Chains A and B, each alone.
Chain A
Amino acid sequence: MNRVIDHNGVERWLGNIEPPVGHIAKAFTVYGDTPDAPMFARSEWPAMIVKFPAGPDWPYLPYVHDQDGIGQCNADATVTMAESCRLSQGLPFVALSAADLYDRINGGQDQGSILEDAIEEMLERGVGTVATCGTLWKRGMVKAPAAERVRFKFLEAYWCPTFDHHMSAVLAGFRLNSGIMWYDNYTPDGDGWLPKGTGGAGGHSVFGYKPAMRGNQFGIWHQNSWESRWGIGGRCVFPEAAYKGQVGGWFAVRSVVDEGGVVPPERSA
C-alpha cells in the first residue's frame, strides 16, 4: 500500500520504503551511547511529560508540509526537522525543499525513499531551499547548488533502536523522524491519538517533536506532511503501540548549521 484515503476523503501518499534485500545499513551513532544523548528511564517519563504543554502546540513548528501526491514523506519529515531546528536556534525561517532532498534519494523516479539515505544526505550535503527548488519533486526539476545546500545541513544525527530511545530523545529536545507502518484506519481521535492499526498498511515517515501521555499510555506528537486539514491541524500522536517495528529507522536530530542570525552588532548611541 502506498496511499490511503484520509478522514476528509483526500487521497494521501506514503513513501517510506524498506531497504532492498542485501542492503547494507549505513552506520549512525546510536542514541544513548554518548553522554550528550541521554536516556531517561521509563519511570521518569511521567514527571517529565507533565511539564510539556498538553495538546499539539509547540513553539518551534514550521508550516505543515503537503507532499501532495508524491511519495516524498521521508524527505518532508527530514527537512521539517531542519526547519524546526533552525527556529529553535533562532535562525531566520527558511522554507527547505523536500523535493531537492527526495531528488537525490529516490533513484530518479517517484518510488519512495529510505530514511537513512535522507539523514545521510542532510549530514553530508544538506538541502536546497523552496525558493530554488520548489516543494514537490518532479523529474528534471531545478537542483540546488552545493553552496546553498551546505547552509542547511544537520550537525549530528542519532539512530534510535527502540521506542525508549526515541522517547528519551524527544524529552531531551531532539527532533525525530519516525518510520512506521501506516494503517488505513489511522485517523486521530479527538485528542489526536492514532488508534490501534488495522487493515492495510504501508511505510510512512513523519516528523516528531513532543512527548505525550494519556492514562498509562505513552506517545509522541508528530506533524504529518498531509497539509493542515489532516488530523489536529496536521498533527497527531503516535502511541507507543504504533512503534511495532522500524520501517527504515527512527532518527533523532538536535541542531543544524548556524549560518548566523539577526542580533545586531553593538553600536554607540
Chain B
Amino acid sequence: MRASIHAAFFAVAFAATCQGQGPSIEIPSEIKATGRWVRLSPKTDAVGVLYVALDGEEAFPSEELKDPRRFLFDTKGLNGRYRFAAIGASATGELVRVDFVVIVGNGPTPTPPGPGPMPPDPKPPDPAGVVKFLVVVEETADATAARGIYLADLTLAARLKDKGIKIRVVDKDVVGTDGKPPADVARFIADARDKPLARVYLVDEKGKTIFAGNMPADPARLIELLSRFGG
C-alpha cells in the first residue's frame, strides 16, 4: 500500500510533541500540464509534503526527491483531470492539506486502463443493455484495506443513485439463514469460484450479465467502467 511507503514521513511528523504554528502550502488549485512532466515546487514552510493521488494516478514519491516538498507527475499516456491532496508537515508535527487538480490534455475525466476484459467499442447501450445492478463478490478477509475508502466514496455513491444502479456486495462464502447462498447472487458466487477476487458483475434490468471482470482498483475506475455500460 502506498500509505506505508510514507510511514517514515508521518512517523517523523507525529513524533514531534511540541505544538507549533501549522505550515502553509501555496499550490494553484488547477495546474495545466504543458509537457510530459508536471513539475512544481510549492511555496511552503513545511519540512515535507506528501502528495496523495485521489484518482489513482500517483505522483513520483516526494521522499525520493532531493527536495521532499517537490511535486513531480508523469503525464505520459494520460488525458483528463487528476486530483491530488498535498499534505504538508511542519517540524513540530502540525499538518495541513491543500487539494489541487492537474489537467492533462482536453479530456474532462481520467481515462485509466480498464480493469479487465472489456468490449473494445461497445455499442451505444439500449435499455436492455444498461447496467442496473452492480454485484461485487469478494473475499471479505482480503478486502479490508481498500474497503473503507470504497465505501466512503461520495462520487461513486452519487453516480449509483443518479443512474438508479443498485449495489450488492457479498462474500464468496455468504449463506443466508437457510444455509444457502442468497438466491439473487448465487450465480455470481458460483461464477467467481476459482477466479481472482474481488470480482465485479454488471447486470441489466432483465438480470442479464453484461460485464464480468476484476474489481477496479479504485472508485474512479469503477465509475469509468459503469459509464461504458450506460451507468
Residues of A with Cβ closer than 8 Å to B?
Answer: 35-38, 40-48, 50-53, 57-60, 88-90, 150-151, 170-174, 210-211, 213, 215-216, 254-255, 257-267, 269
Contacts and interface: CB of A to CB of B under 8 A. Distances in A.
Interface of B: 1-4, 6-11, 13-14, 22, 50, 52, 54, 85, 87, 93-97, 128, 133, 135, 140-142, 144-145, 147-154, 156-157, 166-171, 174-177, 182-185, 187, 203, 205-209
Given A51-B52, A215-B22, 6 more contacts: A43-B7, A47-B52, A174-B148, A263-B184, A265-B184, A267-B206
Contact of B144 (A36, A41, A216): A36
Given A46-B95, A89-B170, A258-B174, A58 B152 contact: yes
The 6 closest A-B pairs by CB, nearest first: A36-B141, A59-B157, A173-B147, A90-B168, A173-B148, A260-B182
Contacts of A258: 170, 174-176, 182
A261 B136 CA distance: 13
B93 A216 contact: yes
A50 B11 contact: no
11 contacts: A47-B50, A52-B149, A57-B154, A59-B151, A59-B153, A90-B166, A173-B148, A216-B13, A258-B176, A260-B183, A264-B133
B54 to A, nearest CB: 7
A109 to B, nearest CB: 32
A259 B184 CA distance: 10
A44 B203 contact: no
Contacts of A173: 144, 147-148, 150-151
B160 to A, nearest CB: 8
Nearest to A263: B184
Contacts of B152: 51-53, 58-59, 210
A261 B144 contact: no
A41 to B, nearest CB: 6
Contacts of B175: 258
A62 to B, nearest CB: 14
Contacts of B10: 42-47
A118 to B, nearest CB: 21
A255 B52 contact: no
